[in-house]
Chains A and B, each alone.
Chain A
């Protein structure tokens, strides 16, 4: 695993980083622009809370925790796996054939193609929000809760990475489906920026059992805050994020295999 996936991943990603570092001004500006995209979303959250004290019973700081968990997980996934959404383009232009004949896993090649450290910029607001929220909220810290914070962040990131891969695999079947996969990835991000309770029971059920976005930030936040689920879902769901991450990762791997088997080259 380490030799076939992790090492090539970092080597290829590092090669792209070095290439981009040849244009330091451009890299800096584009990183700042990426930082801007998530900063304005955070600003919007603050503007909203300028008008109300609580959304669905969640205060600004609690919403900040949810935003922080979402932002960190999604932007980590975007950094690591975001390039996979360009699969359709590679299929159309024939570049995917080249990946298949190289002696590195095509998924690793796809994920690192055009790897862009500027996406780190996006991560900053989410991470800051998360740290600030964990600091200001009066969470009853136990050793278990403390240890769970990194586990929850990693689980969230794994869930998001899996969604990105599953979304990309749709492009094996419909080459122009990039936008559709964006509905899951970026749409999922937009959805889970806010406390899910505001969307009502049906949507929360869908993002718990169909597209498990609820385990990225909503259930983890309920766990950290020690709050009962306002929608009255099973209380043990809040412990399920790591399990869901592993399961979804398996689903993503399976989808990738099915997609790969389905792949026919574009022809002449």
Chain B
């Protein structure tokens, strides 16, 4: 456990060295937040309510989505694991006396933790300053949002771990990544809240893991969870996907390592 904490801290410190890049990301996320928010405000101008969402709800989801980009890495970056499988350095990772999945999880949660502080908070703050967001008054809901944030980071890792793991079979994961960075933002409610999707499409997307990255956390923040059990149901949905992805990742790791061949002389 101490090792994993050290790895976590190392991940956090490593990303904190790229200060300008982080500041730039906040600017980019905020710019996109403002653009998406203004588009949605124009949509809600003619219709005060769409599928239970008001304009303020939609704008709140936009900024939550932008704040979650860094944490969940929904647009990338991929785990370095994929690249290390390709060039053979994964052999080193496999020799470590620490569980393989746990090692990568600890590094990535370090990255996510840094992103919460340096990207999520300022980006969301921009939204709070510029727009009327629908923010909960009761402190308990904020706690639920924090839990949802952690679970979203776990789901984000679970998905990216599987994408990277595909490298054991495909060697080059760039194709998988390209498809992933395309599906993730669309299916999660990042590009457009799922409530604005046609009902049938939204119903399908609400059963997939990506919804746990943005749509469900946003509904937890808004207190509008459509899942049975309300907020707890939403958290349970995220937790179930996080667990399923991590278990699948562990099982597949065991299979993959049996077939790994490291090239080189």
Question: Interface residues, chain A, CB within 8 Å of chain B?
Answer: 26, 29-30, 33-34, 36-37, 40-41, 43-44, 47-48, 50-56, 174, 176-180, 182-183, 187, 190-191, 194, 198-200, 203
Apart from the given pairs A29-B178, A198-B38, 15 other A-B contacts in the complex at a CB distance below 8 Å: A30-B175, A33-B175, A33-B178, A37-B181, A51-B43, A54-B46, A174-B20, A176-B18, A176-B20, A176-B21, A178-B21, A178-B24, A179-B27, A183-B31, A187-B32
Minimum C-beta distance from B35 to chain A (A)? 5
CB distance from A168 to the nearest CB of B (A): 14
B179 touching A52, Cβ below 8 Å: no
Of the candidates B35, B41, B181, B198, the one whose C-beta lies within 8 Å of that of A187 is B35
**Interface contact B38-A47, CB-CB below 8 Å:** no
Residue of A nearest to B179 (CB): A33
Task: Select the residue from B28, B42, B175, B197 with max chain A CB neighbours within 10 A.
Answer: B42
Known: A47-B192, A179-B28, A190-B32. A52 touches B186 (CB 8 A): no
- Quick check: is B244 within 8 A (CB to CB) of the other chain? no
Task: Find A52's partner among B18, B43, B192 (CB 8 Å cutoff).
Answer: B43
Partner of B28, one of A37, A50, A180: A180
Q: Tell which of A37, A43, A178, A199 touches B38, judged by Cβ atoms closer than 8 Å.
A: A199
B: contact size bracket = 20 to 34
Q: Which of A36, A44, A177, A198 is the one whose CB lies under 8 Å from B179?
A: A36
- The interface residues of chain A lying within 8 Å CB-to-CB of B24 are 176-180, 183
CB-CB < 8 A to B28: which residues of A?
A: 179-180, 182-183, 187
Contact B179 A40 (CB under 8 A): no
Does B172 reach chain A (CB closer than 8 Å)? yes
Which of B35, B41, B186, B197 has the most chain A CB atoms inside 10 A of its CB? B35
Contact B197 A47 (CB under 8 A): yes
Known A-B contacts A29-B178, A48-B192; the reply to A179 vs B21 at CB < 8 A is: yes
Chain B contact residues, CB within 8 Å of chain A: 18, 20-21, 24-25, 27-28, 31-32, 35-36, 38-39, 41-43, 46-47, 50, 172, 174-175, 178-179, 181-182, 185-186, 191-192, 196-198
Contact of B20 with A177 in the complex, beta carbons under 8 Å: yes
Q: How many cross-chain pairs have Cβ atoms below 8 Å apart between A and B?
A: 90
> A179 to B29, alpha carbons, bound, how many Å?
10
Contact B174 A26 (CB under 8 A): yes
Which chain A residues lie closer than 8 Å to B175 at the CB level?
26, 29-30, 33
For B196, list chain A residues within 8 Å (CB).
47-48, 50-51
Closest CB in chain B relative to A129 CB, distance in Å: 17
CA distance A79 to B68 in the complex (A): 29
Contact: B191 with A56, CB < 8 Å? no
- Kindly list chain A residues whose C-beta atoms are within 8 Å of the C-beta of B31: 183, 187
CB distance from B146 to the nearest CB of A (A): 26
Closest Cβ–Cβ distance, residue B112 to chain A (whole Å): 18
Contact B191 A40 (CB under 8 A): yes
Chain B residues closer than 8 Å to A47, beta-carbon distance: 192, 196-198
Q: In whole angstroms, what is the CA distance A144 to B127 when docked?
A: 45
CA of A238 to CA of B16, assembled, Å? 46
> B172: which A residues are within 8 A, CB to CB?
26
User: Once the chains are docked, how many angstroms separate the CA of A55 from the CA of B25?
Assistant: 29
28 residue pairs bridging A and B, Cβ less than 8 Å apart: A29-B179, A30-B174, A30-B178, A33-B178, A36-B179, A37-B182, A40-B182, A41-B191, A43-B186, A44-B192, A47-B197, A48-B43, A48-B192, A50-B198, A51-B43, A51-B47, A52-B43, A55-B39, A174-B20, A176-B24, A179-B25, A179-B27, A187-B28, A187-B31, A187-B35, A190-B36, A194-B39, A198-B42
Q: Which 5 A-B pairs have the closest CB atoms?
A: A198-B42, A179-B24, A33-B178, A176-B20, A40-B186
* Chain B nearest Cβ from A49, distance in angstroms: 9
Q: Is the pair B21, A44 in contact by a Cβ cutoff of 8 Å?
A: no
By beta carbon, the residue of chain B nearest A43 is B186
- Kindly state the separation between the CA atoms of A135 and B172 in the bound complex, as whole angstroms: 42
Q: Which of B20, B174, B182, B191 contacts A44 (CB 8 A)?
A: B191
Residue in A closest to B185 when the chains form the complex, CB atoms: A40
Closest Cβ–Cβ distance, residue A87 to chain B (whole Å): 14
